[in-house]
């Protein structure tokens, strides 16, 4: 499980471990904006290395419409997907396409 700890999220791993200590929690701290974090993942999509196994209308709407404008709501689904693929792709042994299921 990947947890972003910016803005008070430092307590999230503790809460998760209070519920179930067997869950592997990786904490991440955003140091760049959402758009910059998403660019490498957008490249994977462009290279057809990420595929959706089914329809995810709310995620796909955020993917199509988020511009980074400060007046927009935070794209929670998009942000979670970007973090997940980012963490998985950091493993140098990983040499596979990503399927969102």
What was the pLDDT predicted at 64?
A: 94
pLDDT tens digits, 36-84: 999 999 999 999 888 888 999 999 999 999 999 989 998 999 999 999 9
State the pairing for strand pair 2-4/50-52: unpaired
- Which pTM value belongs to this model? 0.81
Query: pLDDT tier at 92 (50, 70, 90 boundaries)?
Result: low
- Average pLDDT of the chain to the nearest whole number: 88
CA distance 39 to 52: 18
Q: At a CB cut-off of 8 Å and minimum separation 6, what does 67 contact?
A: 35
Domain chopping of the chain, boundaries = 1-30, 32-100
**Dihedral Cα 63, 96, 85, 36, nearest 10 deg:** -70
């Amino acid at each position: 499980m990947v947890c972003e700890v910016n803005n008070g999220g430092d307590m999230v791993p503790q809460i998760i471990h209070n519920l179930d200590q067997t869950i592997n929690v990786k904490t991440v701290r955003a140091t760049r904006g959402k758009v910059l974090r998403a660019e490498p993942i957008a490249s994977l999509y462009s290279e057809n290395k990420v595929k959706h196994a089914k329809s995810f209308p709310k995620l796909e709407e955020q993917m199509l419409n988020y511009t980074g404008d400060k007046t927009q709501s935070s794209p929670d689904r998009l942000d979670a997907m970007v973090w997940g693929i980012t963490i998985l792709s950091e493993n140098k042994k990983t040499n596979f396409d990503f399927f969102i299921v």
